[in-house]
Chains A and B, each alone.
Chain A
């Protein structure tokens, strides 16, 4: 998978977001399962134009949109009926009913939506279909093989009704049986005539099927774009600019934002700039490096799929692949250790680099599954290898000295500006909540630092805060 596999999409929270898109109609729901990244800059820009327009329209025409949404709820998926009809299949009463009802709803939507949406979303007229399926112009949302279709049918039904009256008024069992026999013969005639009419109507409908398919597509787009607009409004997402570098100002992760909200905490928004080549991300344990990588990857995926991004401001390049190597990669099903799995993934990544050249790679603690002295060499090597391509990469690492002077280096502020002793006293008073107290004091923001600066040595400090055996701590301390 060029743009993340399902597992990685789940890990970065993309599946979660897409599943929570509030599409309403069966068409919109189908579209949700079929969102692909777009590589054509013109198409992508057009999608952003549409979304921008929908967001504006949504806020200006709330009532009209609500009406459209109620109509979308009533829609059923009639694609198969229409396709079968197009192939020449004769529809039965129920299918004709579905076609009639749905085209009626389409036309109701059209009356509202064509006035407020862009031309690309305009529904085409399906009146001729409704006229065929409502020969008496009754405008009632039901269907039967109407007498209007055939004089013969009308006569047969008249006879049927006459006999039924007789059956009802007869008490003589013998006579009643005779009448029922007679009625049965009439029912056969009625069925034959109805079948003939169904064939006839189906034939008459065929020329309009392509128009129904156009409207189905437009409704799919309306429903889907409305859902994207609502998502963007809810989180104040912004339209990314398409450029040749990656920049997010005020980036956040909606899923984590929601979790923090429940705890009455705020997401510390992030600013990050990635130029071509590698960027290093370091920081204290528990500093949220993984979250940063996931949030960044998520936003890049979303942008390329035509969504607004979770950031106050953003510039993104068009990428030909997006890859994510997570810190918990392991494939026990294939009998791979974490290092084995990492190398398999690395093969996929270098493959992408060689084939597509321009992409984005996020690596979380690459080569952590092997011994540090060799692991470091792997990280350093990969960092310079990537420079040969037109790609962007970011590596979160614990290893020292993998960064050369030219590689940009971001660091999570973490506990750098915290007075350890006073924090430790706080935790000692309230031992149960050590983790949440650390989280509260952790500065999750990132800053760009001098590349030569050392990777922070916060492990022992964090361990001390959480609580570690005093003797063990002293032994470790002496080893520093």
Chain B
């Protein structure tokens, strides 16, 4: 079993300039994870903080409880929408206006002149997020933490952040086994293997001109003239010939497409599906299992550097798992480090 302590966790963060934290579900303890990291990096790294879009409301309607808020140390940088500045109770120094606008106003970069709570809504698309990240690095930050909002796993893409932390917690489901299964499945998705370089180059060629393509055993490429894979199951299945070996897809891999592939399993036997990165899948563990039975492999163009999984055994819905049991079960089903961010180190 893997041993993980706070020091080791901190050390694993040190080599990176940008790390994203993504959550499996609402209330999976993402903010708790962020606060845990912020607290432990105090004085070690000069932090810049932002998010992709905004993660819900500060008041949880279901549980009638306030969600935890992010607490930053003096000296940290924060990039957030202008209308949320009044909700940040730090003493603020305005460093830059970015020209990036969101529904909550322009993204402003501020420096915390005191400790305090901040409310963050960053840019909602990746290219703007990259711009904000680089601006904060230029202001002297040496680690940018990106709060990857609910179901926007895109911020974990290697273009945006060099490393990723996944947060899971009891809030996902009261069924402990289900939480374990889906967590380990998510880890698997984020850790999908990178495809061989030759295939990567061909796939990038395909994605330069189209959205969907096929590569055959002789390494010939064929680009399908389809706008997206979302509703084009029939066309994709029709285009597949016996000597095809790879299916290259840009954007999200939808359940519907995978189901129609499963229905035509004979055609896709020994196929490899290439996707951009592990954030682009929306396939649950059940379907993934069916795919692997055909067998179909999933590979990515950009692998995600998943550092560790954090778990929050307490659900705001009023139940909690036994921390030791929860963490130990996670550790046995996942081959990366697991940290309990509520109970401290394990």
Contacts and interface: CB of A to CB of B under 8 A. Distances in A.
Given A94-B82, A187-B116, A157 B91 contact: yes
A164 B73 CA distance: 9
A184 B69 CA distance: 14
Contacts of A161: 74, 114
A115 to B, nearest CB: 30
A120 to B, nearest CB: 31
A377 interface: no
A144 B97 contact: no
B26 interface: no
Nearest to A143: B94
A168 interface: yes
A164 B116 CA distance: 8
Interface in B67-124: 74, 82, 85, 89, 91-95, 97, 99, 106, 108, 111, 113-116
Given A93-B85, A94-B85, A94-B108, A160 B114 contact: yes
A163 to B, nearest CB: 9
A357 interface: no
A143 B95 CA distance: 7
Contacts of A111: none
Contacts of A92: 85
B108 A144 contact: no
B115 A76 contact: no
A190 interface: yes
A98 interface: yes
Interface residues of B, number: 18
A331 B121 CA distance: 50
A94 B114 contact: no
Given A94-B82, A94-B85, A94-B108, A142 B93 contact: yes
A437 to B, nearest CB: 36
B91 A76 contact: no
Given A94-B85, A94-B97, A144 B91 contact: yes
A97 interface: yes
A94 to B, nearest CB: 6
A164 B76 CA distance: 15
A142 B97 contact: no
Nearest to B95: A142
Contacts of A97: 94, 97
Interface string B174-208: 00000000000000000000000000000000000
Contacts of A142: 93-95, 111
Contacts of B74: 161, 164
A92 B94 CA distance: 11
A187 B94 contact: no
Interface centre among B94, B106, B108, B113 (most CB of A within 10 A): B94
B94 A157 contact: no
Contacts of B116: 164, 187
Q: Is the interface of B mostly helix, strand, loop or mixed?
A: strand
Given A94-B82, A94-B108, A190-B91, A76 B114 contact: no
A96 B302 CA distance: 43
B91 A160 contact: yes
Contacts of B97: 76, 94, 97-98
A132 to B, nearest CB: 16
Interface in B111-156: 111, 113-116
Contacts of B114: 157, 160-161, 164
Contacts of B99: 76
Given A157-B114, A164-B115, A187-B116, A144 B82 contact: no
A292 B111 CA distance: 61
Contacts of B89: 184, 187
A92 B82 CA distance: 10
Contacts of B91: 144-145, 157, 160, 190
Nearest to A190: B91
A97 B93 CA distance: 9
Contacts of A187: 89, 116
A28 B181 CA distance: 59
B82 A168 contact: no
Contacts of B106: 94
Interface in A95-147: 96-98, 142-145
A139 B301 CA distance: 47
Nearest to B139: A142
A86 B324 CA distance: 64
A161 B114 CA distance: 7
B111 A93 contact: no
Interface in A148-206: 157, 160-161, 164, 167-168, 184, 187, 190
A93 B115 contact: no
Contacts of B111: 142
B193 to A, nearest CB: 43
Nearest to A96: B94
Nearest to A164: B115
B132 to A, nearest CB: 15
B94 A168 contact: no
Interface of A: 76, 92-94, 96-98, 142-145, 157, 160-161, 164, 167-168, 184, 187, 190
Given A76-B97, A142-B93, A143-B93, 11 more contacts: A92-B85, A94-B97, A96-B94, A97-B97, A142-B111, A144-B91, A144-B92, A144-B113, A145-B91, A157-B91, A187-B89
8 contacts: A94-B82, A143-B94, A145-B91, A157-B91, A160-B91, A164-B74, A164-B116, A167-B115
